[in-house]
């Protein structure tokens, strides 16, 4: 009797596709269409942004139009199937990795439960193996003998409008974080499958605004926000002024200075958005204390490269800008700030895409003499590598008690951790700049780190629910250290993280702040002739910068 009621209860609460009664969908995944509704897709790119990108030499963004995922008719070009199949054929020929990834998966499922989107949604198409299968099924159908002969039995299917819609849904429910790749016995880089899906969709004029607008801004003015040189300069100048108010030290920074030893490039978000501003203050304070011969650039004013989330040609173009500027200014090498995906582009694509950067020198720290041979090809050093080396040689002094107001944990940002292996330097820095910090559980850090859930240009507000789902695994691990140790700050080395983890914490763990590592470095740094401003701490006692660079004075 009771179970009969339970069944009735189940039926009464079942309306949508998420059946309370059935764990396994009764339909095969190929027959389950993608259903779009407000909140589960990012808004399409504005027509003029697509047209602008298409007008640029070397870029291909055809079929610009006004369309909506909510409408049945996506206004695809007439020969859309031909465009996709030719596009796929071209890419299979051009990228050997894609051909291998299409062929070598044995569907073992090792990746299936490693994706934060799957873990947050329970949607099987968010299992990396199945997400890749969305493309692989088309590949089999049109490019393999088995698929041509046996069709569906061989896991093949025909290209339909439904497939395009599915591609759009799921290639934008992947942040290219590459956690799944860590577990793949064949080393399949599922992020590259997503990249190909997005490239193919762009051939049909299908893309999202949150990616294409920053990308076109970056192409036009040098940064995502479209800030013009004078505005970018003003922003950095104001940060320097604030820093002078806080520390009593006048900051001597320069812009576009030819002959500087080092070019410094960081994500533009560090210059205009909280909490990245404090990270930028950290860079300014550190470089001032060192007397570093460096320059900012108002042309290469963006480390982020939304081309990575768009197409290989755009990625190459945006990356090329940084090196063109380094060449123009005649610097010896580049120091890069706390950015995430910039470092994937630098470490995994830059050398064969725009390299070799043989007009630059292998980075050598002017303070310690250390030669960064790990950056011999790219000529670009991560700020954390640079800082950790300074600490190692005792070249900077810290007072960790200046960070006594925070008890941080460290979030390994996906790309620095998995794409460049930057795992120990940030931890070494933390050991020296804060009185105490704690690690999150082992299976959520280092190369197994969970994504913030909003990377690859998915940090737009219209998909906030989706972002909260995909960010659950990360937030869940943070909650654990909050409950167990009283952690109140989530530190990281990525600008997208600083923006998106803030919203993620505001939902899952209110009260936990987010900061860049260089902010903590700046807070604790002892500067020559400093006179730190006074402020009031949480208990109402007056003391020097009780909230570090965030102190209101």
Partner 1 sequence: MELDEAFRNYEDKIVRAWVDYTLSSYKSSTFFKKERDKFANPVGGNTFEALSKLFKLLTKNADPKEFVAPLDQVMRIRSIQEFSASEAVGPIHAVKHITREILEKDKERKHLIAELYDFEFAVDLAVLAAFDLYMQCREQLYKVRILEIKSGTHILTDSKCPSSMLKKDIDDLVKIHI
Nearest residue to 454 via CA among 502, 511, 517: 502
Which residues, in sequence order, are CB contacts of 522 under 8 Å at separation 6+?
278, 281, 282, 283, 284, 285, 286, 548, 549
**Which residue, 431, 416, 413, 433, is CA-closest to 526?**
433
Name the minimum Å distance from CB 35 to partner 1: 10
| 248 binds partner 1, rule: CB under 8 A | no
Segment interacting with partner 1, rule: CB under 8 A, options 189-197, 359-367, 473-481, 528-536: 473-481
- Helix, strand, or coil here: 121? helix
The CA distance from 230 to 235, in Å, is 9
Instruction: Give the position of tokens 């954390």.
Output: 384
Among 443, 526, 534, 536, binds partner 1 (CB under 8 A): 443
With CB under 8 A as the contact rule, the residue among 469, 501, 514, 523 that binds partner 1 is 469
Q: Identify the residue among 205, 207, 426, 473 touching partner 1 (CB under 8 A).
A: 473
Q: Does the protein bind partner 1 through residue 91 (CB under 8 A)?
A: no
How far is residue 498 CA from its own chain's centroid? 10
- Is residue 77 close enough to count as binding partner 1 by CB under 8 A? no
Of 19, 290, 362, 377, the one binding partner 1 by CB under 8 A: 19
Say whether residue 348 binds partner 1 (CB under 8 A): no
Q: Per CB under 8 A, does 438 bind partner 1?
A: no
Q: What angle do CA 258, 262, 268 make, to 5 degrees?
A: 95
Q: In DSSP terms, which residues pair with 409 in a beta bridge?
A: 438, 490
Rg (C-alpha) for the chain, rounded Å, is 24
Instruction: For residue 120, state whether it binds partner 1 (rule: CB under 8 A).
Output: yes
Residue whose CB is less far from partner 1, 13 or 371? 13
Answer yes or no whether residue 534 interacts with partner 1 by CB under 8 A: no
3-state secondary structure of 21: coil
Among 218, 235, 268, 354, binds partner 1 (CB under 8 A): 235
182 belongs to the binding site for partner 1 (CB under 8 A): no
Binding mask 273-312 for partner 1 (x = CB under 8 A): xx--x-----------------------------------
Q: Does 108 bind partner 1 (CB under 8 A)?
A: no
Is 357 within 8 Å of 379 (Cβ atoms)?
yes
Q: How far is the CB of 18 from partner 1 (least distance, A)?
A: 6
| 422: its two tokens | 């930057």
One of 191, 346, 468, 501 touching partner 1 (CB under 8 A): 468
- Is residue 24 near partner 1 by the rule CB under 8 A? yes
Q: How far apart are CA 374 and CA 380, in angstroms?
A: 9
Distance CA 127, CA 520 (A): 37
Q: Which of 195, 508, 522, 546 binds partner 1 (CB under 8 A)?
A: 508
Contact 247, 285 (CB under 8 A): yes
Stretch that binds partner 1, among 87-95, 137-145, 237-245, 353-361 (CB under 8 A): 237-245
Nearest to 172 by CA among 398, 519, 462, 501: 462
Residue 515's DSSP bridge partners are: 491
Contact between 121 and partner 1 by CB under 8 A: the answer reads yes
Which residues of the shown chain bind partner 1 in the complex (CB under 8 A)? 1-3, 5-6, 9-10, 12-25, 40, 112-113, 118-124, 127, 225, 231, 234-235, 238-239, 241-242, 271-274, 277, 441, 443-444, 461, 464-465, 468-469, 472-473, 476-477, 480, 502-503, 506-508, 510, 552
């Amino acid at each position: 009797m009771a179970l009969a009621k339970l069944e009735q209860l189940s039926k009464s609460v079942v309306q949508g596709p998420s059946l309370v009664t059935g764990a396994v969908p009764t339909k095969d995944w190929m027959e389950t269409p993608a259903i779009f509704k407000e909140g589960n897709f990012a808004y399409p790119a504005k027509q003029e942004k697509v047209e602008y990108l298409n007008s640029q030499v070397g870029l291909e963004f055809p079929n610009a139009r006004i369309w909506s995922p909510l409408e049945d008719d996506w206004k695809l070009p007439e020969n859309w199937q031909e465009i996709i199949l030719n596009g796929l054929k071209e890419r299979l020929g051009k990228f050997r990795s894609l051909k291998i990834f299409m062929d070598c998966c044995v569907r073992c499922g090792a990746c299936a439960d490693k994706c934060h989107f799957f873990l947050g949604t329970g949607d099987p198409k968010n299992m990396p193996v199945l997400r890749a299968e969305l493309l692989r099924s088309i590949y089999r159908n049109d490019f393999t003998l088995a698929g041509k002969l046996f069709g569906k039995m061989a896991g093949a299917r025909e290209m339909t409008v439904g497939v395009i819609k599915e591609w759009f849904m799921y290639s934008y429910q992947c942040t290219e974080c590459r956690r799944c790749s860590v577990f793949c016995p064949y080393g399949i880089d599922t992020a590259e499958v997503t990249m190909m899906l997005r490239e193919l969709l762009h051939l049909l004029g299908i893309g999202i605004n949150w990616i294409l607008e920053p990308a076109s801004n970056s192409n036009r003015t040098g940064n995502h926000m479209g800030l013009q040189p004078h505005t970018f300069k003003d922003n950095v100048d104001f940060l320097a002024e604030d820093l002078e108010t806080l520390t009593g030290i006048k900051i001597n920074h320069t812009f576009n200075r030819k002959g500087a030893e080092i070019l410094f490039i960081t994500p533009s978000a560090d210059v205009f958005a909280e909490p990245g501003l404090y990270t930028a203050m950290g860079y300014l304070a550190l470089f001032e204390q060192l007397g570093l011969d460096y320059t900012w650039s108002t042309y290469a004013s963006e480390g982020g490269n939304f081309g990575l989330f768009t197409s290989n040609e755009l990625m190459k173009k945006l990356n090329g800008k940084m090196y063109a500027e380094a060449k123009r200014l005649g610097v010896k090498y580049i120091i890069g700030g706390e950015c995430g995906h910039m470092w994937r582009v630098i470490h995994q694509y830059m050398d064969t895409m725009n390299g070799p950067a043989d007009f630059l020198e292998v980075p050598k720290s002017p303070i310690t003499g250390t030669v960064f041979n790990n950056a011999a090809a790219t000529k670009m050093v991560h700020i954390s590598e640079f800082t950790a080396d300074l600490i190692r040689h005792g070249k900077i002094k810290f007072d960790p008690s200046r960070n006594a107001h925070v008890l941080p944990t460290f979030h390994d940002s996906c790309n620095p951790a998995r794409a460049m292996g930057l795992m120990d330097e940030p931890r070494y820095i933390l050991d020296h700049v804060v009185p105490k910090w704690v690690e999150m559980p082992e299976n959520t850090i280092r190369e197994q780190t969970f994504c913030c859930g909003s990377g690859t240009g998915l940090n737009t507000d219209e998909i906030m629910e989706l972002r909260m789902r995909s960010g659950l695994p990360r937030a869940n691990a943070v909650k654990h250290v909050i409950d167990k140790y009283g952690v109140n700050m989530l530190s990281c080395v990525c600008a997208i993280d600083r923006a998106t983890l803030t919203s993620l914490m505001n939902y899952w763990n209110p009260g936990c702040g987010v900061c860049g590592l260089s902010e903590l470095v700046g807070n604790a740094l002892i500067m020559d002739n400093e006179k730190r401003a006074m402020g009031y701490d949480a208990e109402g006692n007056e003391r020097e910068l009780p909230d570090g660079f965030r102190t209101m004075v």
